[in-house]
Chains A and B, each alone.
Chain A
């Protein structure tokens, strides 16, 4: 797909970027729903439904989203604890999508996982020593100085005492157990650690200890993290880049600063405005808050087009009919939206709001709407300006050109959206033309 070409293009465009450790393309995980005597499949829970991203060496990718958006499933699929339904996973250039258990075994050393529940993830009948040395036993690794010594070193590394070797999990508090889980994950010096809600079960003061510990270990051991969490404050603190998921799709993928300073997808904006800020002075600024209507729709039959259109206050006809592609609107910021915030509209001809959007907009304060319109216009102007000024257009041009291809591909596929979709492409193409003439 064009998606592949684009990520390749990114790498060549920016050779100084770090090496890609994990690359995920079009990843899908559907859980079948079976009914009746014959257990025929009558539908599927589309937990992960076509996502693309890559993780570079040494960075931390944060994945956020509401419960049920498929972020945990994504974590389990990329570590191959669950079989993907479609798409591909490349780890260090090797395709691991369809490797069997034996084929995966040597890679298990390099990919480790930290689990959410420090109570459920440690076997209560094994000692700490047994738990942390299990990776060595399973992989037939004889560390220097013997297993016991290495385990004790690991325990020290995560801030536990080596004397804890012969104790059982129930003797430890939640924070300490999470440290044991981390020690186990780090035993074989993995390259990639996938942490699923590593701190959400812990108390605030302990949470900070574990976050700092993970930070230190990353620096010391050069780890790469994929951190899955629902807490946007924690994710902001730990991540270099952040992917926002909604109903099995990535809606926005961007650098931390770009995402938090100028989110482009309306969902990202709403999600962030909902996080309570520990500062009573900000209480007056209530109008910033965007309340979303209702709940996340069911992943069994996700809404057509853009999945967020049922709750979005900017949704128009095109959102209902055409699925927006995840395209790089600004360097390092990929967004799947027809009407992004803080950027020029991708479908400006489509201005009639859907009725659901009108209802949703009634929950959004006037100021927010006015402000977002203003910033979007300003950014659009700025973008044009900067594109004129920028001497090397290659990186800016590429995604636009790709987008045209994307839009055309979509228009070819989708019948009813065919009329609107090419318009997006045309718009992009026009911008393209402008740039080259200006040059």
Chain B
């Protein structure tokens, strides 16, 4: 890791923080969008880190800021003048380089080479006018000074690697000629063509059938093992999380409410929202309990995030802490165990009691 900090120092950052040890580190990231209706605080102070070879899953409902976070890491919020369309602050460290303050050209050189992204809907993420091969070749040649022929060979090799049958024929196919699962494989091939060290997958399997989902998750896992990349996977499906994650980050209203290893979050969750998510999932592996335990109400608007704890209007335990604290004071992430953090006003005793006595038996 010394190598990383060296590069960080070499860049001579103005450094409000020093280059971290982790491969990817996000510190106090804020992404706000000014709109006519007010400031949309999509991400409001988010921190996490991912090591190489590890998978972080970001879970949350729609509008919790998961996708905005991933686009921020990829540097895709910069379209238009800073401050007019988007206001970003905080730090994103990738392999010792800080990206938020970096020159857009520099980020562009990293994008696709060191970090790549898989999108939810491969049909709209690919260009319908160009063949799959063309698009992979382009992605490869942007970062590698090679002839078209070499690049095409590489494209075929990648299509083969992700399990597309007859890759030397399919390379000349158009996106619409591929089925959903095949398209997603082609997209993964495109993302991995430059052996990126960070792979961000935004709901990569949401549009797919379960049988295909299983294939794609297996593929991502295999490729991660092979290339040792860090993976950030964004999803709303806790089943997928349990399947693939090393660490889990639960987002609500643009902030992290709970973070920890996958065992921590599933076995000893410490936030009422995480309980809510676990309780509202029907389980295939169990005989039906009578009813699901839904979270009441609606996810918050990111323009008017509730004061205090953003979850308090939906939290069944908001009245337990004394006084108005849940309505007035925003809870900060606190360590509740080794590497396990939660942002909740409930005392640790209350949380343990509620989880073991009220929630866990009903799941």
Which one, A185-193, A229-237, A337-345, is touching chain B? A229-237
Bound form: Cα–Cα A236–B165 in Å:
34
Q: Knowing A175-B298, A204-B280 touch, does A66 contact B211 (C-beta < 8 A)?
A: yes
Bound form: Cα–Cα A279–B165 in Å:
33
- With both chains docked as a complex, state the minimum distance between the C-beta of A180 and any C-beta of chain B, in angstroms: 14
Q: Knowing A291-B214, A291-B215, A295-B179 touch, does A277 contact B283 (C-beta < 8 A)?
A: yes
- Most chain A CB within 10 A, of B243, B267, B276, B293, is at B243
- B292 lies within 8 A of chain A by Cβ: yes
Contacting residue for B211 out of A173, A234, A270, CB 8 A: A270
- B47 lies within 8 A of chain A by Cβ: no
Which one, A103-111, A113-121, A208-216, is touching chain B? A208-216
Which one, B30-38, B103-111, B167-175, B233-241, is touching chain A? B233-241
Chain A facing B: main interface SS: helix
Q: What is the interface residue range for chain A against chain B?
A: 35 or more
With both beta carbons as reference points, the residue of chain A lying nearest to B182 in the complex is identified as A295
Inter-subunit contact A276/B295 (CB<8 Å): no
- Give chain B residues whose Cβ lies under 8 Å from the Cβ of A282: 242, 285
Inter-subunit contact B211/A271 (CB<8 Å): yes
- Most chain B CB within 10 A, of A204, A260, A277, A282, is at A204
Bound form: Cα–Cα A270–B182 in Å:
19
- B308 lies within 8 A of chain A by Cβ: no
Inter-subunit contact A67/B293 (CB<8 Å): no
**A247-261 residues at the B interface, CB under 8 angstroms:** 256-257, 260
Bound form: Cα–Cα A399–B120 in Å:
46
Inter-subunit contact A279/B285 (CB<8 Å): yes
Contacting residue for A278 out of B211, B218, B281, B299, CB 8 A: B281
Inter-subunit contact B292/A276 (CB<8 Å): no
- Most chain A CB within 10 A, of B181, B182, B238, B281, is at B281
- B266 lies within 8 A of chain A by Cβ: yes
Inter-subunit contact A212/B294 (CB<8 Å): yes
Inter-subunit contact A67/B282 (CB<8 Å): no
- A396 lies within 8 A of chain B by Cβ: no
Q: Knowing A275-B284, A280-B242 touch, does A205 contact B209 (C-beta < 8 A)?
A: no
Contacting residue for A277 out of B165, B179, B213, B284, CB 8 A: B284
Inter-subunit contact B214/A205 (CB<8 Å): no
Bound form: Cα–Cα A256–B214 in Å:
23
Inter-subunit contact A66/B209 (CB<8 Å): yes
Contacting residue for A294 out of B165, B209, B239, B299, CB 8 A: B165
Contacting residue for A211 out of B209, B212, B282, CB 8 A: B282
- A203 lies within 8 A of chain B by Cβ: yes
Inter-subunit contact B276/A205 (CB<8 Å): yes
Inter-subunit contact A212/B212 (CB<8 Å): no
Inter-subunit contact A207/B242 (CB<8 Å): no
Inter-subunit contact A205/B280 (CB<8 Å): yes
- B79 lies within 8 A of chain A by Cβ: no
Bound form: Cα–Cα A276–B206 in Å:
12
- A274 lies within 8 A of chain B by Cβ: yes
- Give chain A residues whose Cβ lies under 8 Å from the Cβ of B180: 67
- A272 lies within 8 A of chain B by Cβ: yes
Inter-subunit contact B291/A212 (CB<8 Å): yes
**B200-216 residues at the A interface, CB under 8 angstroms:** 209-215
- Give chain A residues whose Cβ lies under 8 Å from the Cβ of B280: 204-205, 207-209
- B190 lies within 8 A of chain A by Cβ: no
Inter-subunit contact A236/B282 (CB<8 Å): yes
Bound form: Cα–Cα A275–B211 in Å:
8
Contacting residue for A208 out of B165, B263, B267, B293, CB 8 A: B293
- B277 lies within 8 A of chain A by Cβ: yes
Inter-subunit contact B277/A230 (CB<8 Å): no
Inter-subunit contact B284/A233 (CB<8 Å): yes
Q: Knowing A203-B61, A295-B179 touch, does A276 contact B236 (C-beta < 8 A)?
A: no
- B226 lies within 8 A of chain A by Cβ: no
**A217-246 residues at the B interface, CB under 8 angstroms:** 230-234, 236-238
- Give chain B residues whose Cβ lies under 8 Å from the Cβ of A278: 238-239, 241-242, 266, 278, 281, 283
- Give chain A residues whose Cβ lies under 8 Å from the Cβ of B245: 280
- A283 lies within 8 A of chain B by Cβ: yes
Inter-subunit contact B291/A275 (CB<8 Å): no
- Give chain B residues whose Cβ lies under 8 Å from the Cβ of A231: 282
- Give chain B residues whose Cβ lies under 8 Å from the Cβ of A237: 282-283, 288, 292
Contacting residue for B262 out of A215, A260, A280, CB 8 A: A280
- B228 lies within 8 A of chain A by Cβ: no
Bound form: Cα–Cα A204–B66 in Å:
15
Bound form: Cα–Cα A230–B211 in Å:
11
Q: Which 4 A-B pairs have the closest CB atoms?
A: A276-B239, A208-B280, A208-B294, A237-B282
Q: Sample 12 A-B pairs with CB under 8 A, ordered by A number.
A: A66-B212, A203-B299, A205-B280, A206-B294, A209-B295, A212-B292, A233-B239, A276-B210, A276-B213, A278-B281, A280-B262, A283-B242
Residues of A whose CB lies within 8 Å of any CB of B are: 66-67, 173, 175-176, 203-209, 211-212, 215, 230-234, 236-238, 256-257, 260, 270-283, 289, 291-292, 294-295
